[in-house]
Amino acid sequence: MKLLVIHGPNLNMLGEREVGIYGKLTLAEIDKLLRDKAAGYEIDMEIFQSNHEGELVEKIHGAKDNIDAIIMNPAAFTHYSIALRDAVAAVDVPVIEVHISNIFSREEWRASSVIAPVAVGQISGFGIDSYLLGIDAAVAIVKRLPD
Beta-sheet pairing, 2-7 with 69-73: parallel
Tally of CB atoms within 10 A around 59: 19
Taking CB under 6 A as the rule, does residue 69 contact ligand DQA? Answer: no
Query: From the CB of 99, what's the least distance to ligand DQA, in Å?
Result: 4
CA-closest candidate to residue 96, choices 126, 65, 125, 130: 130
Catalytic site includes residue 131: no
Round to the nearest angstrom and report the end-to-end CA distance of the chain.
12
Catalytic site includes residue 99: yes
Q: What mask of x and - would describe binding to ligand DQA in positions 100 to 119, judged by CB under 6 A? A: xx-x------x---------
Taking CB under 6 A as the rule, does residue 75 contact ligand DQA? Answer: yes
Query: From the CB of 95, what's the least distance to ligand DQA, in Å?
Result: 14
Taking CB under 6 A as the rule, does residue 78 contact ligand DQA? Answer: yes
d(CA 111, CA 93): 24
Q: Are 7 and 49 in contact (CB under 8 A)?
A: yes
Binding site for ligand DQA (CB under 6 A): 10, 73, 75-76, 78, 99-101, 103, 110
Which residues are catalytically annotated? Answer: 22, 99
